[in-house]
A and B are shown apart, each in its own frame.
Chain A
Amino acid sequence: MIPELGHFALILAACVALLLSTLPLLGAHQGRREWLVLARPAAQAMFLLVSVSIAALAWSFYTNDFSVTYVAEHSNSVLPTMYRLAAVWGGHEGSLLLWLFMLAGWTFAVAQRSRTLDEAMVARVLGVLGLVSTGLMLFVLLTSNPFARLIPAVEEGRDLNPMLQDPGLVFHPPLLYMGYVGFSVAFAFAIAALLSGRLDAAWARWSRPWTTLAWIFLTLGIMLGSWWAYYTLGWGGWWFWDPVENASFMPWLIGTALLHSLAVTEKRGSFKSWTVLLAIGAFSLSLLGTFLVRSGVLTSVHAFATDPRRGVFILILLALVIGSSLALFAWRAPKVALGGAFGLFSRESLLLVGNVLLVVACASVLLGTLYPLIIDALGLGKISVGPPYFNAVFVPLMVPVVLLLGAVPLARWKTAEAREMASRLWGPAVVAVLAGGIVPWLMGGWTLLTGLGMLLAGWVASSTVLQVARRLKAGTPPISFWGMHLAHFGIAVFVIGVTLVGGYQEEKDVRMAPGDTSLVGGHMFKFMGVREVPGPNYTAARGEFQVSKDGRPGRTLFPEKRTYRSSTMPMTNAAIDPGITRDVYVSLGEPLEAGAWAVRVYYKPFVEWIWLGCLLMALGGVMAVADRRYRLRVKSSAAVAATGLRRATT
């Protein structure tokens, strides 16, 4: 009964979405107020219905209702409750329902937080979100219904993929989807602005906090995914340039460009059509990512079941949404007035250079991701593109971006004085050169890459600190100022982590019998043996390793090799002793003869800084969103617009 209720709620939600995507848009177009006021209640109803739907699915998981096919395939009665609930998004159908839930949530949030915006604008924005929702809901209902019954029911479910039985599953997909889907708001604002022809500073000001919010979630989502791969899956690295990782990284790159471009559009009125294009691009890449992950056109570590029917449906959806947006762009953008003029050397021009570099970097990732598919489609053979391509192309593109990042906040709008900037930047330049020259040498050997990495990190960190110090002399800066600099400082921290772990990590594959020791990165590992340990739904071979450094005993690590009862697939759970300056990491390989095991031991200096840097970036975003100036200004400008509309309608 409950699953049918969920299914029915979803069908109703699709009807409401259809209503939301037609009447308010038409109403805004024809100036019919009685139609456009429907937008807000429809958005609220849609969110309520989708919530009921996902709650029904969660309930089916909670009560182990194995008469629901999706539950039977992704759960098991001995699965711990936390994972039983997270299993809602552990497979294709449920993760799409989560996608929809997020979309409905963002739509609801826009409906609630836009009371001060002009009614026609709200109707258009919500209407565009309704259109996207309609498409996705039809996709779920027609090709991927999570509520399909399995008759006769099975006694026991197949269980969740052991790789997913981790706290990472609880947080990573929802955060990532929040970010992915969140760009739909910026997209809807851009389309609404194109439709109304009102691409002005007010539009940019409304879009900014929403874009930043989505960007924060995406940053955290990608960070958690990377951290999950590193910690639990025992992959040993933090980024693999896997198609699915790239699918989440591309919207991030464009989203980052969009954040900066929106700032220019708001403050100076320039880059309007460029900003609109980025807003369309960020969401298009989110949709493209969904397509790549869900259709199985690419091989990936995120192996999902493939069904060509689904691929075709979502490709058509993709073509309709993105194609019509870009067509609208081609039609309307030429009429957009140029904004404030700026000099060849100004904050605007420098931001534009950074923006273009980010877009090119994204294009290079897109090319690398799709290259195997393109070559295959042209009948030229089967190839795969790996990290060497991405490192060779992506890194050189990001170097100038990071260099710009240290300098641009000092540049003035309209025209920047090169001499004035140089006089302020020689300090950071000296710090950068010192950092690049000395730190790698202290870490155990200078190489070109580590030198460059530390130079960039030193440059950004010192320039950021200097700017904050200078600003503090002039009084308390607004919180968004802190946000920007914290995020930039996060980049420096991130670069340090990437550079040092890339340059100085050590890894050893050794055969160890109980009592054997192994020395990696100055840490002594003593293997104490392996015991059988039962878990809730698995049995584990648990190894014990005593770690010591310079004779001082440290932590004892317990890596596991788990065998889940419901599937015979063994899972490796690495054991990690994390630290600010280094992680040590042990994972069990295969058992060898006479109690000996193949063991992999890693020493990873400063690897935690990678995620710390991402956290700082996200925190910077939070501070930028928290700036009160936005809300006040939105209110005042919207109030003017609202009176304007009222006058027009009466």
Chain B
Amino acid sequence: MKLKFLVPLALFFVLVAFLAVGLQRDPREVPSPLINKAAPLFKVPQVQLADKTFSPVDMQGKVWMLNVFASWCVACKVEHPLLVQLQQSQIVPLVGLDYKDTRPAALKFLSQNGDPYDLAAFDGDGRVGIDYGVYGVPETFIIDKKGVIRHKQIGPITPEALEKTILPLLDKLKKET
């Protein structure tokens, strides 16, 4: 058997190897450049208590989650029950970021669907969202004790993502000093 006739077969196997690896990956998932960077700072009023403000500095020393939501966002309604459940289990402080919304609409949304947040920050004009690179709602950031973003969930949190990625990561981060 002459070697040159094996070249097409060899090339094909290289191709198959790449395709097999490629299958395991999601081309739509764009990694956030913010991972392992300090969470951008901001100071905005809260949704429920308009006279109080919130800043990520308040959460220093805690592992916490920032969930970007909006009353106009349909996918947020999908993940909402899961957030309510998460809040009941008291695993992690959950802060909402009400993105490009009005306060009455957000309050109505929270009263109708349940309020899973320790508090919700109000980002009516979406300025904070720009700093966080939000391009679709909902998005969820996991931030560690030093104020560094460690994970970004794009789109609604699924039970699978919660179980496989988020909860183990929270456990790990809580053990860090």
Tell me, yes or no, whether B49 is within 8 Å of chain A by CB. no
Q: Which of A297, A319, A326, A329 contacts B27 (CB 8 A)?
A: A297
**Shortest beta-carbon distance from B145 to chain A in Å:** 28
- The reply to whether B1 and A315 contact each other, CB–CB distance below 8 Å, is no
**Complex Cα–Cα for A295 and B30 (A):** 18
**Complex Cα–Cα for A334 and B2 (A):** 6
**Shortest beta-carbon distance from A254 to chain B in Å:** 12
- The reply to whether A331 and B1 contact each other, CB–CB distance below 8 Å, is yes
From B11-19, B86-94, B100-108, B153-161, give the one contacting chain A. Answer: B11-19
**Complex Cα–Cα for A327 and B15 (A):** 15
- The reply to whether A312 and B27 contact each other, CB–CB distance below 8 Å, is no
From A39-47, A369-377, A400-408, give the one contacting chain B. Answer: A369-377
Tell me, yes or no, whether B164 is within 8 Å of chain A by CB. no
Q: Which of A284, A318, A329, A373 contacts B22 (CB 8 A)?
A: A373
Residue of B nearest to A327 (CB): B9
Tell me, yes or no, whether A298 is within 8 Å of chain B by CB. yes
**Complex Cα–Cα for A382 and B21 (A):** 14
**Shortest beta-carbon distance from A642 to chain B in Å:** 32
- The reply to whether A330 and B16 contact each other, CB–CB distance below 8 Å, is no
Q: Which of B1, B18, B25 contacts A330 (CB 8 A)?
A: B1
- The reply to whether B5 and A297 contact each other, CB–CB distance below 8 Å, is no
**Shortest beta-carbon distance from A406 to chain B in Å:** 31
Tell me, yes or no, whether A333 is within 8 Å of chain B by CB. yes
**Shortest beta-carbon distance from A243 to chain B in Å:** 10
- The reply to whether B13 and A315 contact each other, CB–CB distance below 8 Å, is no
Residue of A nearest to B25 (CB): A376
**Complex Cα–Cα for A322 and B15 (A):** 11
Query: Interface readout for A298-323 with B: 1 if CB under 8 Å, 0 if not?
Result: 11000000001001100100110011
**Complex Cα–Cα for A311 and B27 (A):** 14
**Shortest beta-carbon distance from B54 to chain A in Å:** 33
Query: Interface readout for A368-389 with B: 1 if CB under 8 Å, 0 if not?
Result: 0010111011000010000000
Residue of A nearest to B11 (CB): A326
- Which B residues between 21 and 39 are near A, CB-CB below 8 angstroms? 21-25, 27-28, 30-31
CB neighbours of B22 from chain A (8 A): 297, 370, 373-374, 376-377
Known contacts A299-B27, A308-B23, A382-B31; A373/B5 CB under 8 A: no
Tell me, yes or no, whether A13 is within 8 Å of chain B by CB. no
- The reply to whether A326 and B19 contact each other, CB–CB distance below 8 Å, is no
How many pairs, one residue from A and one from B, have CB atoms within 8 Å of each other in the complex?
69
Most chain B C-beta atoms within 10 Å of own C-beta, residue among A297, A322, A327, A370: A297
Known contacts A326-B8, A326-B9; A319/B16 CB under 8 A: yes
**Complex Cα–Cα for A330 and B1 (A):** 7
Tell me, yes or no, whether A207 is within 8 Å of chain B by CB. no
**Complex Cα–Cα for A314 and B78 (A):** 32
- The reply to whether B5 and A374 contact each other, CB–CB distance below 8 Å, is no
Q: Interface residues of B, CB < 8 Å — how many?
A: 22
Tell me, yes or no, whether A291 is within 8 Å of chain B by CB. yes
- The reply to whether B18 and A370 contact each other, CB–CB distance below 8 Å, is yes
**Complex Cα–Cα for A333 and B4 (A):** 10
Residue of B nearest to A323 (CB): B12
**Shortest beta-carbon distance from A242 to chain B in Å:** 13
Tell me, yes or no, whether B130 is within 8 Å of chain A by CB. no
- The reply to whether B9 and A315 contact each other, CB–CB distance below 8 Å, is no
- The reply to whether B16 and A323 contact each other, CB–CB distance below 8 Å, is yes
Residue of B nearest to A377 (CB): B21
- Which A residues between 189 and 203 are near B, CB-CB below 8 angstroms? none
- The reply to whether B25 and A334 contact each other, CB–CB distance below 8 Å, is no
CB neighbours of A298 from chain B (8 A): 27
**Complex Cα–Cα for A128 and B15 (A):** 23
**Shortest beta-carbon distance from B74 to chain A in Å:** 10
Known contacts A297-B19, A333-B5; A382/B13 CB under 8 A: no
Tell me, yes or no, whether A273 is within 8 Å of chain B by CB. yes
Residue of B nearest to A243 (CB): B27
**Complex Cα–Cα for A207 and B28 (A):** 41
Known contacts A308-B23, A382-B31; A377/B18 CB under 8 A: yes
**Shortest beta-carbon distance from B87 to chain A in Å:** 31
Tell me, yes or no, whether A277 is within 8 Å of chain B by CB. yes
Q: Which of A295, A322, A334, A382 contacts B12 (CB 8 A)?
A: A322
Known contacts A291-B19, A315-B19, A315-B20; A373/B27 CB under 8 A: yes
- The reply to whether A382 and B19 contact each other, CB–CB distance below 8 Å, is no
**Complex Cα–Cα for A327 and B13 (A):** 11
CB neighbours of A329 from chain B (8 A): 5, 8-9
**Shortest beta-carbon distance from A166 to chain B in Å:** 25
- The reply to whether A323 and B13 contact each other, CB–CB distance below 8 Å, is yes
Q: Which residues of B contact A (CB under 8 A)?
A: 1-2, 5-6, 8-9, 12-13, 15-16, 18-25, 27-28, 30-31
- List the 8 closest pairs (A to B, CB-CB), nearest first: A377-B21, A326-B9, A373-B22, A330-B5, A299-B27, A297-B22, A311-B23, A334-B2
**Mind listing 18 A-B residue pairs with CB under 8 Å?**
A273-B5, A277-B8, A281-B8, A291-B19, A297-B19, A297-B23, A308-B23, A318-B19, A323-B9, A323-B12, A326-B8, A326-B9, A329-B9, A330-B8, A330-B9, A334-B2, A370-B22, A373-B27
| Extra inter-chain contacts (6) besides given A277-B8, A281-B8, A382-B31, CB under 8 Å | A297-B19, A297-B23, A297-B27, A308-B23, A329-B8, A334-B1
Q: Which residues of A contact B (CB under 8 A)?
A: 273, 277, 280-281, 284, 291, 295-299, 308, 311-312, 315, 318-319, 322-323, 326-327, 329-331, 333-334, 370, 372-374, 376-377, 382
